Amino acid sequence: MWFALKIVIAIVVAYAMFRVGLAILRMLSTPPPEPPPPGELRKVKLVYRCAVCGTELRMTLANDEVPEAPRHCMEEMELLGSPDI
């Protein structure tokens, strides 16, 4: 009885491993999506700080992946990086 139960459990585990491996291979084989056409907004996560007054700005949407720095106090803001959200 125990031997048959071990065989059934081994078959179920092997099937589960096969399905997980197949899912991983499918994820790896799909190409990344094409970038949106020019003019559409893209999601970005950038943080800028004004060097003059210290105002901080978080940019979440932009028309380019690396947009120009915004201006504040008549100066370009410094890029601090991406926030850890």
Name every residue whose Cβ is closer than 8 Å to that of residue 77 and which is 6 or more positions away in sequence: 48, 49, 50, 51, 55, 57, 69, 70, 71
Domain ranges across the chain: 1-30, 42-81
Tell me which DSSP letter residue 41 carries: -
Q: Are 56 and 48 in contact (CB under 8 A)?
A: yes
pTM for the whole structure: 0.49
At residue 21, the pLDDT reads 96
Q: How many CB atoms lie within 10 A of CB 48?
A: 20
CA distance 26 to 19: 11
Give the up-direction half-sphere exposure of residue 59: CA atoms within 13 A in the CB hemisphere. Answer: 24
At residue 85, the pLDDT reads 43
Which CATH class name applies to 42-81? mainly beta
Ordered mean pLDDT values, 10 residues apiece, the chain (85 residues): 92 97 90 75 87 88 79 86 56
Three-state secondary-structure class, residue 50: coil
At residue 65, the pLDDT reads 72
Beta strands 78-81; 75-76: pairing state: unpaired
At residue 71, the pLDDT reads 87
